[in-house]
């Protein structure tokens, strides 16, 4: 593999159905449709050499092509339901490419369009980390501010602590680190998918995102509003606050 250019495929899942926002993936964020931000980051990557949007919607397909992504098929409805998983989308895409084009990627990176502020460098970093370690996958994560050890579960109309000894963790310093995936990048070997039936595998390497804007996940209209405000104002606001505490 070291002696040939690796086939590195970015898959961007972008179905038309969305309960929170109708056709969420083509709603405008700034001057671009939401999905276009992710397409652009993949295009600006120095490692990715093919970009595919998997969608069941003709409008999303048309806009994705306009911004430079390949949309070789419309995703079947059975893989586009609320119950459909990202794994379903990935496996359908790979099976299609193998059957129709005789194309099998070496590395795949899943880029969710609901994470519009990822950088091309994050994508490339995940690919470099995958290649230089024995990881089966590399996943973008952030350190959770809300820890599961301090959470409560409903039971019989009341709340039950998730951890029976939750009082032990009254200080944040006592809590073990706890991470959530960001949706910015799930990068893995094709062999991981083949061997383990999933894109994680047993050896997941994290890329820990420390920038709050990178962790925004656009799921609701409120999230879209927050993303719009971040795009318009965050850079200037954070710069002024950093240099002038009394701003």
List, for residues 96-145, the tens digit of each pLDDT value. 999 999 999 999 999 999 999 999 999 999 999 999 999 999 999 998 88
Q: Name the helix (H) or strand (E) containing 33.
A: strand 32-33
Reported as a single tens digit per residue, the pLDDT across 198-223 is 999 999 999 998 888 888 889 899 99
- pLDDT for 139: 97
More confident residue, 60 or 21: 60
Per-residue pLDDT of 49-101, as tens digits, reads 999 999 999 999 999 999 999 999 999 988 888 888 999 999 999 999 999 99
Both structure tokens of 146: 């809300």
CA distances from 65 to 9, 27, 47, 99 (A): 16, 16, 20, 22
Domains of the chain: 8-143+177-243 (3.90.550.10)
165 or 41: which leads in pLDDT: 41
Q: Identify whether the C-beta of residue 97 lies closer than 8 Å to the C-beta of residue 74.
A: no
């Amino acid at each position: 593999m070291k002696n040939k250019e690796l086939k590195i495929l970015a898959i961007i899942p972008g179905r038309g159905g969305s309960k929170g926002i109708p056709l969420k993936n083509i709603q405008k964020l700034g001057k671009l449709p939401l999905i276009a931000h992710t397409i652009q980051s993949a295009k600006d990557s120095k490692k990715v050499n093919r970009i595919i949007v998997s969608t069941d919607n003709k409008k999303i397909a048309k806009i994705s092509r306009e911004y430079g992504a390949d949309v070789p098929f419309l995703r079947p409805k059975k893989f586009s339901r609320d119950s459909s998983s990202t794994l379903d989308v990935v496996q359908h895409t790979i099976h299609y490419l193998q059957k129709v084009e005789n194309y099998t990627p070496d590395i795949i990176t899943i880029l969710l369009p609901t994470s519009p502020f990822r950088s091309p460098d994050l994508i490339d970093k995940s690919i470099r980390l995958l290649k230089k370690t024995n990881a089966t996958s590399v996943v973008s994560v952030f350190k959770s501010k809300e820890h599961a050890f301090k959470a409560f579960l409903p039971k019989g109309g009341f709340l039950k602590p998730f951890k029976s000894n939750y009082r032990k963790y009254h200080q944040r310093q006592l809590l073990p680190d706890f991470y959530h995936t960001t949706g910015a990048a799930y990068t893995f070997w094709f062999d991981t998918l083949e061997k383990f039936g999933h894109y994680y595998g047993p050896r997941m390497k994290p890329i820990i995102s420390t920038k709050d804007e990178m962790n925004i996940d656009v799921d609701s209209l409120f999230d879209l509003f927050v993303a719009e405000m971040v795009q318009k104002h965050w850079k200037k606001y954070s710069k002024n606050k950093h240099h002038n505490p009394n701003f």
